[in-house]
């Protein structure tokens, strides 16, 4: 197992001073010189040939904006709302695990406080390195109002599934993401080549560890194993490094025979008072099934190109899903968002808001909480500028007519200026 230390030395920081941070991708450039290569590749890579990883970003360039002129834009507002919760911009931090790999001191607490400072939503992954309660307490001690959501999986151990969601509800989280595209993780060849096959010490998936303690100390310990008896899982395997790539070590936890009844069950048992977003929807058919099962919203996501390689880019899957359920529930999107113009294109195609994942890790590695604040502020400024130039003064004014496909296909002629 490779060692990990995301803390930048003085010499390392001085070596990246020439990188002027002007956009989200600049954080990735800067982080690459700071992070150990195996860690950088773990964060940056996708599965198999990385086709989907690449196309998540490039697909946005096949959608073209149609700017309207001579319209009042003197009072631009990027504010929006989701389930009655106000967001200062239609960009939020998608749930993604192990933030402490990039900020060893604060982990997810830093990212959550950054979202709080900017006034947007933070999604806490079930695979976080800080607990549900630690993140809630960190935000409660900071100025402003937190908008925390919790992300869960359907586990083989249904009691643990429920308890984790109930802990989030008790801690004041305002919504639940249920990730449904991870009955198996895609194979990440970069991790196998680099020997990244276990979570580096001292990091832990603390929410699971606390559940172990709970079962050991409760009467349930006589009724259940660490997972329910039918799960037959060795808890040590999560940290064992038995697999070639470390994410595969946690596959054993997940229910591999899920049905839409599981969504109904979770909604009824734990989310009746919280909005439930189904994350990982890539087809109209599944969007319809999700809503039938009681979902309050769906999230178009291919796991940032880290699940099924060869799946369509999220932005290209968005239109059919909006057409299927957009008049019934909010549709969110992540995977590939790097620019304010990406955000605007997604809104025009029917997304209510978009999430970012990888850029958050790279910002954390470069400058911790303050860098994540700056990342979100950069995106907000880019969204503001794009809205103004396109002649829309607020998010509600963004319509489908704002985007189109190029009549000649476009983008094949695109090369970035090297000035």
| Catalytic residue (choose from 203, 272, 303, 406) | 303
Q: How would DSSP label each residue in 97-110?
A: S-GGGT-TTTTHHH
Start-end of H helices in 141-195? 158-170, 189-194
Cα distance between residue 126 and residue 213, in whole Å: 16
Q: How would DSSP label each residue in 322-339?
A: HHHHTTTS-EEE-SS--S
Cα distance between residue 323 and residue 304, in whole Å: 23
> At what angle are helices 132-140 and 158-170 packed, to 10 degrees?
10
Cα distance between residue 7 and residue 368, in whole Å: 10
Q: Is 303 a catalytic residue?
A: yes
Cα distance between residue 334 and residue 282, in whole Å: 11
Cα distance between residue 407 and residue 290, in whole Å: 35
Contact of 341 with 386, CB cutoff 8 Å: yes
Strands (DSSP E) found in 192-350: 276-281, 297-300, 331-333
Handedness of CA 21, 106, 139, 299 (dihedral sign): positive
Contact of 298 with 290, CB cutoff 8 Å: yes
Q: How would DSSP label each residue in 265-313?
A: HHHHHH-TTS-EEEEEE-SHHHHHHHHHTT-SEEEE--GGGTS-TTPPP
The single residue listed with the structure tokens 């989907």 is 52
Task: Cite the active site residues.
Answer: 303
């Amino acid at each position: 197992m490779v060692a990990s230390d995301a803390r930048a030395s003085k010499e390392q920081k001085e070596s990246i001073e020439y990188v002027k941070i002007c956009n989200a991708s600049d954080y990735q450039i800067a982080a690459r010189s700071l992070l150990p290569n195996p860690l950088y590749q773990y964060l940056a890579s996708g599965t198999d040939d990385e086709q989907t990883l690449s196309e998540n970003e490039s697909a946005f360039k096949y959608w073209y904006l149609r700017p309207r002129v001579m319209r009042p834009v003197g009072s631009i507002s990027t504010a929006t709302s989701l389930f009655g919760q106000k967001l200062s911009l239609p960009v939020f931090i998608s749930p993604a695990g192990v933030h402490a790999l990039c900020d060893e001191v604060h982990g997810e607490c830093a990212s959550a406080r950054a979202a709080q400072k900017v006034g947007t939503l933070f999604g806490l992954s079930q695979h976080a390195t800080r607990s549900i309660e630690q993140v809630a307490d960190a935000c409660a001690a900071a100025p402003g109002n937190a908008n925390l959501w919790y992300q869960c999986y359907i586990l083989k151990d249904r009691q643990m599934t429920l308890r984790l969601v109930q802990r989030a509800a008790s801690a004041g989280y305002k919504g639940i993401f249920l990730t449904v595209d991870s009955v198996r993780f895609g194979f990440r060849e970069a991790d196998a080549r680099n020997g990244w096959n276990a979570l580096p010490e001292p990091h832990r998936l603390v929410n699971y560890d606390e559940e172990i303690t709970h079962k050991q100390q409760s009467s349930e310990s006589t009724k259940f194993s660490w997972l329910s008896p039918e799960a037959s899982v060795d808890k040590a395997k999560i940290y064992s490094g038995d697999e070639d790539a470390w994410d595969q070590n946690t596959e054993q936890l997940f229910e591999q025979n899920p049905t839409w009844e599981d969504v109904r069950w979770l909604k009824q048992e734990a989310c009746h008072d919280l909005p439930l977003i189904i994350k990982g929807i890539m087809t109209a058919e599944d969007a319809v099934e999700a809503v039938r099962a009681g979902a309050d919203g769906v999230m178009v996501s291919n796991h940032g190109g880290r699940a099924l390689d060869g799946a369509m880019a999220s932005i290209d899957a968005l239109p059919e899903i909006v057409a299927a359920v957009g008049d019934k529930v909010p549709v969110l999107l992540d995977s590939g968002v790097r620019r304010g113009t990406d955000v605007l294109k997604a809104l025009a195609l029917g997304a209510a808001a978009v999430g970012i994942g990888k850029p958050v890790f790279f910002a954390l590695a470069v400058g911790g909480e303050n860098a994540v604040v700056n990342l979100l502020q950069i995106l907000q400024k880019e969204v503001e500028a794009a809205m103004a130039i396109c002649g829309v003064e607020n998010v509600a004014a963004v319509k489908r007519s704002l985007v189109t496909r190029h009549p000649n296909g476009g983008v094949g002629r695109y090369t970035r200026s090297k000035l």
